[in-house]
Amino acid sequence: MSGGQPAPGAGAPLLTVCDLRSYLATGQGVVRAVDGVSLTVHEAEVLGIVGESGCGKTVTCRTIMGLMPARILHTSGEVIYHPRGEQNLLDASQAQWESLRGAQLAMIFQDPMTALNPVRTVGDQLLEAVNAHAKLSRPEAQARAIGLLERVGIPAPARRMRDYPFQFSGGMLQRALIAIALASSPRLLLADEPTTSLDVIIQDQILSLLLELQQDTGMSMILVSHDLAVITEICDRIVVMYAGQVVEEGATSDIITAPRHPYTQALLDALPQAGQRGQLHSIRGSPPSLIDVPDGCRFAPRCRHVTDECRVWETELIAAGEREHAARCWRLHDIGRSQAWQGSDSA
């Protein structure tokens, strides 16, 4: 179980996910979207989850928030939210969810344009969030809402309250969504690819904003992205996911300087480096089906260090270094990296 040694500055464990499995019963078969994931987020910590599309990072977050479609979802394992008396969120009732969401846990989604109701004003929807867990009078709620918009960097907030989502740009809308998520001062914010659909300059602004807010409020954050560069910018710890499983985890600096799982290494290799000329490295092949899950290591078909045993053995996470650095590869001590990652200059 990954708990214990947090990143410096972080506190006690806030949320612990223990052997979580989320299976989806579809017409094509059972999709094992999340297949035994464990992770821990501590207070005031920023945890990053990185992986390709379809690796299960979004399903993990949505399962944590209870936002998966109940009709086809089957889960096992535990999602323990510590401040609420070790409650397993998977068993939470509707009423419990309503008190948890917003006030304790919040989430922002990838595409700001679809994340808001298009026929109601942004101010309306923000006020809805503000009033969800507090008994405020009209002017108090209004003031608080405007204050939130200001805090996330939206100019002329009072006027913008009356505007509709289609009147906002992508970046501004994402800021508004952050304001909505933080309206009831949650202790954990899950951000699912918050910058993916924005252009690069705005991406930076949003990331800086998130980091700033996190440091100001001391809340914890789970940042999900397929872009390792984004993750390494603001996360204290990283969890690397592949085909529904965690394949490596550890402190950011350890992962960058000494990645132990071939997939992580490949991800780092694929990042354009400062001053790099010539061919970009990509990872050949594609992720396995989550319905007919192959035996053995799921990364084996694409791994450059693969052996026959890899295709048969199911490996667990093995300790690989300090600060709870672990990787799911039985060969992690044998294989190294060709070169240390130089870092990029996207600050």
Partner 1 sequence: MSTAWAASPSELLMRAASKAAGRRRSVTRRRLTLIVGLVLLGIAILAVFLAPVLVSQSPTTIDPLHPLAPPLTPDHLLGTDQYGRDILARILYGGRIDLAIAFGATAVTLVGGTFYGLIAGYIGGRTDSVMMRVVDLVFAFPFLVLVIAIIAMLGPSIFNMFVAIWITSWVAYARIMRAQTVVAKKQQYVLAARALGYGRLRVMFRHILPNTASAVIIFSMVDAVGNIILAASLGFLGLGAQPPAPEWGTMIADGQNYILSSWWLVAMPGLAVLYIGISFALIGDGLADLLRAGEQ
Partner 2 sequence: MNRFGSLPRRLVHLVIVLFGISLVTFFLLRLIPGDPALAILGSSYTHQRAVAIDNFLGLNRPIWTQYGLYMDRLFHGNMGFSFYYDEPATTVILQHVAPTLFLLVYAGALAALISFPIGFISGLRRGGVVDQAGRIFFTLSFAMPAFWLGIIFILLFSVHIHAFPISGFGSGFIGHLYYLFLPALTIALGFSTVLVRSLRAATISALQAEFVDTARMKGIPWRRVLWRHVFRIAILAVVAVYGVNLAYLVGGTVLVENVFSLPGLGTLLVDSVNQRDYPVVQGITLLFAVIIVCINLLTDMVQAALDPRVGQEIGT
The residues of the shown chain that bind partner 1, judged by CB under 8 A, are: 21, 23-30, 32, 36, 66, 70, 72-78, 88, 90-91
**Distance between CA 123 and CA 136 in Å, rounded?**
15
CA dist 144 and 26 (Å) reads: 43
Q: Rounded to the nearest 5°, which phi and psi values hold at 183?
A: -55, -40
- For position 132 contacting partner 2 by CB under 8 A, the verdict is yes
Which of the 8 DSSP states describes residue 71? T
Q: Count residues binding partner 2 (CB under 8 A).
A: 36
> Is 98 near partner 2 (CB under 8 A)?
yes
23 touches, from partner 1, partner 2, none (C-beta below 5 to 8 Å by class): partner 1
CA distance 39 to 238: 10
| From 52, 78, 111, 227, residue interacting with partner 2 (rule: CB under 8 A) | 111
133-152 footprint of partner 2 as x/- string (CB under 8 A): x-------------------
Q: Which does 117 bind (CB under 5 to 8 A by kind): partner 1, partner 2, none?
A: partner 2
**Under rule CB under 8 A, residue 100 binds partner 2:** yes
139 binds, among partner 1, partner 2, none (CB under 5 to 8 A by kind): none
Our finding on whether 273 is near partner 2 (CB under 8 A) is: no
Contact 230, 220 (CB under 8 A): no
- Shortest CA distance to 59 belongs to which of 288, 286, 51, 248? 51
In the set 166, 169, 312, 342, which binds partner 2 (CB under 8 A)? 166
Beta strands in the chain (DSSP E): 13-26, 29-42, 46-50, 73-81, 87-88, 105-108, 188-192, 220-225, 237-242, 245-251, 318-321, 325-327
> Which residues of this chain interact with partner 2, rule CB under 8 A?
62, 65, 67, 69, 71, 94, 97-103, 106-107, 109, 111, 114-120, 125, 128-129, 132-133, 164, 166, 177, 180-181, 183-184
